[in-house]
């Protein structure tokens, strides 16, 4: 095995047309075509999907664990952002 | 030779070529250049083994002498094998394995696309299933050849070396015998002469992109149609057949 395995690519599989692409793992590859082929061979051997995206891992911008406080916790006490917070008058019926 | 014998010979030849190629490719399992590529080539080997199994099962059925596909695979000697010489050639480095594969994938896609129209419904069925698989194999091997040809000085020189070793075995892919003549008349077999210009055009284009020059004339090896092989086949069979020959009744 070589110690140079190329770049890391993130793989997203779409199960059926119209459904979202779901992240399922990553592969090593040296170019776009190889990344797509490797993703096909590693992640769709058992009929897992009908379409693939591969994205260079370095192209993904991610939040970091230190961001949890400022990014996500302020939403905790804002229950009025959920539709269930609001009582719907009887006259409206089903929305 | 009657037409049943011809059909047996023909199917056996196709089955042997698939089986020996699959056996060769599976030698890479666990030794690929990196994990993803190891898995890719193992997948390809398995596709080709599956095709070989279907063909040998059909050959056994045509023969009708009570031999099974396993009997054909494990209890025949070198001279009774009719695989193309190119598939028994050693794997060498990855450039050689991929170039051998590119030559065969290009041939197989043309061949099985035509065979899918065969009057023999079993051969046509096996061929139709194989075409999708081979389309992918070809995309895989062709992209490697372009990478090697346009990569580093070392990858280009390894590809050139692979070409120098393998080119002499490509002519035989198109050789036809009495078997072919009989079956072409019955619209069962593929006329290989019609595939040759298409194969040459595609391979010339691929090699041009990979900066490999095809020599004007080369001596072309042949012999497999008569069961004559290079020194490699005996070793392949020895390894492949040891277990069933030592324990013919073994089951798992």
Domain extent at residue A17: 7-92
On whether residue B251 sits in a domain, the answer given is no
On whether residue A2 sits in a domain, the answer given is no
Task: Tell me the shortest Cα–Cα distance from A12 to chain B, in angstroms.
Answer: 16
Q: What is the pLDDT of residues B50-85, one digit of tens each?
A: 999 999 999 999 999 999 999 999 999 999 999 999
Closest chain B residue to the Cα of A35, Cα to Cα: B36
Region B221-226 average pLDDT? 96
Q: Which chain B positions have a beta carbon within 8 Å of A34's beta carbon?
A: 143, 147
Contact B39 A28 (CB under 8 A): no
Q: What is the pLDDT of residue A91?
A: 83
Contact B34 A6 (CB under 8 A): yes
pLDDT at A94 over 90: no
Q: Which chain B positions have a beta carbon within 8 Å of A30's beta carbon?
A: 147
* CA distance linking residue B54 with residue B215, whole number of Å: 37
Contact B33 A1 (CB under 8 A): yes
How many independent structural domains does chain A possess? Answer: 1
On whether residue A38 sits in a domain, the answer given is yes
Interface A-B: count of C-beta contacts within 8 A: 36
Q: What is the pLDDT of residue A1?
A: 45
Contact B36 A1 (CB under 8 A): no
On whether residue B53 sits in a domain, the answer given is yes
Give B215's pLDDT tier (boundaries 50, 70, 90): confident
The mean predicted confidence, pLDDT, of chain B is 96
Q: What is the pLDDT of residue A85?
A: 85
How many independent structural domains does chain B possess? Answer: 1
CB atoms within 10 A of CB A22: 13
Q: What is the pLDDT of residue A29?
A: 95
* CA distance linking residue B163 with residue B228, whole number of Å: 23
Which residues lie below 8 Å from residue A13, measured CB to CB, with a gap of 6+?
A21, A22, A24, A43, A44, A48, A49, A51, A52
The proportion of chain B whose per-residue pLDDT surpasses 70, expressed as a percent, equals 100
* CA distance linking residue B86 with residue B89, whole number of Å: 5
Mutate one of A1, A6, A8, A45 to test the B interface: name it (highest B CB count within 10 A): A1
Region B162-167 average pLDDT? 96
CB nearest A5 (choices: B34, B39, B40):
B34
* CA distance linking residue A42 with residue B104, whole number of Å: 24
Q: What is the pLDDT of residues A13-36, one digit of tens each?
A: 999 999 999 999 999 999 999 999
What CATH number does residue A86 fall under? 3.10.20.520
Pairing relation of β-strands A7-14 and A21-29? antiparallel
Mutate one of B25, B29, B35, B37 to test the A interface: name it (highest A CB count within 10 A): B37
On whether residue A37 sits in a domain, the answer given is yes
B9, B60 in Cβ contact below 8 A? Answer: no
What CATH number does residue B18 fall under? 1.20.1260.10
On whether residue B86 sits in a domain, the answer given is yes
List the single range of A44-48, B90-94, B243-247 with lowest mean pLDDT. Answer: A44-48
pLDDT at B167 over 70: yes
Give B229's pLDDT tier (boundaries 50, 70, 90): very high
Closest chain A residue to the Cα of B148, Cα to Cα: A30
Q: What is the pLDDT of residue A3?
A: 64
Q: Which chain B positions have a beta carbon within 8 Å of A52's beta carbon?
A: none
Q: What is the pLDDT of residues B134-148, one digit of tens each?
A: 999 999 999 999 999
Q: What is the pLDDT of residues B2-50, one digit of tens each?
A: 999 999 999 999 999 999 999 999 999 999 999 999 999 999 999 999 9
The proportion of chain B whose per-residue pLDDT surpasses 90, expressed as a percent, equals 95
Please report where in the chains the tokens 């190629």 appear, as a residue: B21
CB atoms within 10 A of CB B62: 19
Is ipTM > 0.90 here? no
* Strand ranges in B82-191 using DSSP code E only, listed in sequence order: none
């Amino acid at each position: 095995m070589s110690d140079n395995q190329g770049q890391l690519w993130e793989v997203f599989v779409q199960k059926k047309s119209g459904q979202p692409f779901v992240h399922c793992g990553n592969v090593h590859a040296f170019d776009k075509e190889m990344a797509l082929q490797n993703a096909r061979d590693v992640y769709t051997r058992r009929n897992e999907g009908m379409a693939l995206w591969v994205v260079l891992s370095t192209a993904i911008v991610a939040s970091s664990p230190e961001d949890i406080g400022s990014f996500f916790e302020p939403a905790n006490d804002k229950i009025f952002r959920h539709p269930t917070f609001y009582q719907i008058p009887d006259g409206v019926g089903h929305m | 030779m009657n037409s049943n014998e011809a059909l047996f010979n023909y199917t056996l030849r196709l089955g042997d070529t698939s089986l020996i190629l699959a056996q060769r490719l599976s030698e890479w399992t666990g030794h690929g250049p990196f994990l993803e590529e190891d898995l890719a080539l193992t997948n390809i080997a398995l596709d080709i083994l599956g095709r070989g199994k279907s063909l040998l099962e059909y050959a056994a059925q045509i023969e009708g002498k009570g031999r099974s596909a396993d009997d054909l695979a494990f209890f025949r000697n070198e001279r009774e094998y009719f695989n193309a010489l190119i598939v028994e050639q050693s794997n060498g480095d990855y450039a050689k394995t991929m170039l051998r594969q590119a030559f065969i994938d290009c041939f197989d896609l043309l061949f099985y696309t035509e065979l899918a129209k065969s009057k023999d419904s079993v051969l046509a069925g096996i061929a139709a299933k194989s075409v999708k698989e081979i389309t992918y194999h070809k995309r895989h091997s062709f992209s490697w050849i372009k990478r090697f040809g346009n990569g580093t000085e070392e990858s280009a020189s390894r590809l050139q070396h692979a070409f120098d070793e393998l080119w002499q075995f490509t002519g035989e892919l198109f050789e036809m015998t009495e078997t072919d003549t009989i079956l072409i008349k019955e619209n069962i077999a593929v006329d290989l002469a019609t595939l040759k210009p298409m194969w040459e055009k595609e391979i010339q284009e691929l090699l041009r992109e990979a900066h490999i020059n095809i020599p004007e004339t080369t001596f072309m090896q042949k012999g497999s149609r008569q069961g004559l092989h290079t020194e490699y086949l005996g070793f392949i069979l020895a390894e492949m057949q040891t277990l069933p020959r030592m324990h013919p009744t073994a089951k798992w």
